[in-house]
Amino acid sequence: MEPAAESVVVRVLLPSLLRACTGGRAEVSVAATTFAGAVERLVSEHPALRGHLFDDAGKLREHVSLFLNDEDSRWLDSWQRPLVKGDVLTVIQAVSGG
Amino acid sequence: MSDVLVMVGTRKGAFFYRSDRNRRSWRVEGPLFKGWEVGYLQLDTRREPTLYAGVGSYVYGPTIQISRDRGKTWSQAEQGPRYAADAGRNVERIWCIEPGPAERPERLYAGVAQAGLFVSDDGGEHWQEVMGLSEHPSRAAWAPGAGGLCCHRVLVDPHTPGRLWVGISAVGVLRSDDDGASWKVCNEGVPIAAPEKDFPEIGSCVHALVQAPDRPGRLYQQNHRGVFRSEDAGDHWQRIENGLPSEFGFPMVLDPNDSQTLYVVPLESDEYRLTPGGKLTVYRSRDGGDSWSPLRHGLPAELCHTAVLRHALDADPLDPCGLYLGTTGGHLFHSPDGGETWSALPGELPRIQSVRAVLVDEGW
């Protein structure tokens, strides 16, 4: 059995509308081994965020995008992507145009 | 209680208007919840005064915000209304937040879209779905109106313990006599806008629903297809449209001092949904809906092609009552004398979704 990967602390950047969920902070950090783990840590440590990122069925809201660095999470082969030092997770609203 | 607080919810934030009881000079605060749609605001005074806001976003979904310090700070409900993960539906919007019965000061109800009712027994921090309504035999036949499939009104009967009504578009009025465990459809006498094969009593598009607090069993509703009164807790409805220019409209409010006096804002048909002739006009009845008269002194008499949404008209409890009307064009109008005269309050706001007028202590 392989040893468990070590947690990596990553930065999470938040849009202004959601900053009330993090005590007004535009940036927080979470420790996890994978992208999925980082998202779960984010909503566990800041539970007010959960309902704004995920719908009642637990699915990522249609107009919310989570980026791992410059990759949209919808493009990732797996949310189990291991994290590496320096990774940045960004929450943005996926609405463009008028 | 010596001051008036008018809470205005808009497409992009909330605004608070405050005045003393003369209602001549107003201070405006806002936007609160900047960028968030505020569909409903409520003050519960059954214990320490607590403010509630139904807040949401097209992107980030809805939630309930709570303030226990007169609106200075707000916090999100710890567990807002959400359907079970396997329910097959989402809470898309908080349509109303209503205090429960006087003897249960920690209880509140929230009506939501997609249509459902939630209850909290801890002052609004945690909410549970009222399964008796969600599991109504007709639930699969419920269909949305133009504003979505929304439970936009909850009434708690002060006379009959355990009795509640909900107004759902485009389903109709339903009543529970057992604290929400079971529900009876109350659409008899009201046209069904969209008849459904298996449940022909379902499909009435109630736009506003109010109860006469001093007359047990009396209800009024502004419906998509007319204005109606019930004397038997919703079992039967009669039309009350004498003097109205149109059967269509959204809001309806009662004078808190006189349950025979009520107000509506007719619109030109469901096709157009605009103020008739470009004249913004409120209609008042002083005889429980038997007859209606126009009130427009001070309201725009021309080039006012707007609408007033179902929660965007309210009355304060002073005597004479003050009336507050918000338009989809973002203008707020006020009458300090029961609708006789009107004037615009300051500001050009985003689309006004809701207006709530309450009395508060001086200095709020």
Residue of A nearest to B34 (CA): A17
In a domain, A76, yes or no: yes
Please name the residue ranges forming H helices in chain B.
131-134, 269-272
As a whole number, mean pLDDT of residues A11-19 equals: 97
pLDDT of amino acid A3: 54
Q: Write out the residue range of the structural domain in which residue A69 sits.
A: 8-93
- Could you give the percent of chain B with pLDDT greater than 70? 100
Given a cut of 80, is residue A97 above it in pLDDT?
no
Determine whether A39 is exposed, middle or buried from the number of CB atoms within 10 Å of its CB (0-12, 13-18, 19+): buried
pLDDT of amino acid A4: 61
Contact A17 B35 (CB under 8 A): yes
User: Which among A56, A62, A64 is the top mutation candidate for probing chain B, defined by the most B β-carbons within 10 Å of its own β-carbon?
Assistant: A56
Contact B60 A61 (CB under 8 A): yes
As a whole number, mean pLDDT of residues B77-84 equals: 98
| pLDDT bucket at B196, cuts 50 / 70 / 90 | confident
Each residue's pLDDT tens digit, B302-321: 999 999 999 999 999 999 99
pLDDT of amino acid B339: 98
- Distance, in Å, from the CA atom of B357 to the CA atom of B120, rounded to the nearest integer, reads 23
As a whole number, mean pLDDT of residues B338-350 equals: 97
Higher local confidence (pLDDT), B184 or B196: B184
Domain count of the fold of chain A: 1
Indicate the residue of A16, A21, A61 with minimum beta-carbon distance to B61.
A61
As a whole number, mean pLDDT of residues B20-48 equals: 96
Domain with residue B216: its CATH number is 2.130.10.10
Each residue's pLDDT tens digit, A25-58: 999 999 999 999 999 999 999 999 999 999 999 9
In this complex, is the C-beta atom of B128 within 8 Å of any C-beta atom belonging to chain A? no
In a domain, A2, yes or no: no
In this complex, is the C-beta atom of A64 within 8 Å of any C-beta atom belonging to chain B? yes
E strand segments, B214-338: 219-223, 226-230, 238-239, 249-255, 258-266, 282-285, 293-295, 313-315, 323-326, 332-335
Domain with residue A56: its CATH number is 3.10.20.30
In a domain, A84, yes or no: yes
As a whole number, mean pLDDT of residues B192-197 equals: 82
pLDDT of amino acid A2: 55
In a domain, A72, yes or no: yes
Indicate the residue of A16, A20, A56 with minimum beta-carbon distance to B90.
A56
Q: How many Cβ atoms are within 10 Å of B354's Cβ, its own excluded?
A: 26
Given a cut of 70, is residue B231 above it in pLDDT?
yes
Shortest alpha-carbon distance between residue A18 and chain B (Å): 8
pLDDT of amino acid B146: 83
State the complex-level ipTM: 0.93
B positions 80-119 inside 8 Å of A (CB) = 80, 82-91
Given a cut of 90, is residue A80 above it in pLDDT?
yes
The secondary structure of residue B245, as a DSSP letter, is S
In this complex, is the C-beta atom of A44 within 8 Å of any C-beta atom belonging to chain B? no
Give the mean pLDDT of chain B: 96
Residue of A nearest to B83 (CA): A56
pLDDT of amino acid B270: 87
Residue among A36, A37, A18, A35 nearest A27 (CA) = A18
Given a cut of 90, is residue B245 above it in pLDDT?
yes
Domain count of the fold of chain B: 1
Residue type (1 letter), B39: G
- Distance, in Å, from the CA atom of B337 to the CA atom of B209, rounded to the nearest integer, reads 23
Q: What is the CA radius of gyration of chain A?
A: 13
In a domain, A41, yes or no: yes
Q: Which tokens in the block code for residue B146? A: 């133009």
H or E segment to which residue A52 belongs: helix A50-53
In a domain, A73, yes or no: yes
H or E segment to which residue A40 belongs: helix A35-45
Residue of B nearest to A16 (CA): B35
Indicate the residue of A16, A20, A52 with minimum beta-carbon distance to B61.
A52
| pLDDT bucket at B210, cuts 50 / 70 / 90 | very high
In a domain, A19, yes or no: yes
Q: Write out the residue range of the structural domain in which residue B179 sits.
A: 3-360
As a whole number, mean pLDDT of residues B75-99 equals: 97
Given a cut of 60, is residue A85 above it in pLDDT?
yes
Each residue's pLDDT tens digit, B279-293: 999 999 999 999 999
In a domain, A1, yes or no: no
As a whole number, mean pLDDT of residues B233-251 equals: 97
Contact A56 B84 (CB under 8 A): yes
Sign, CA torsion B234/B97/B24/B32: negative
- Interface size, chain A vs chain B, as Cβ–Cβ contacts under 8 Å: 50
Residue among B106, B112, B172, B107 nearest B138 (CA) = B172
| Among the ranges given (A94-98, B134-138, B316-320, B344-348), the one the predictor scored with the smallest mean pLDDT | A94-98
Indicate the residue of A48, A56, A93 with minimum beta-carbon distance to B59.
A93
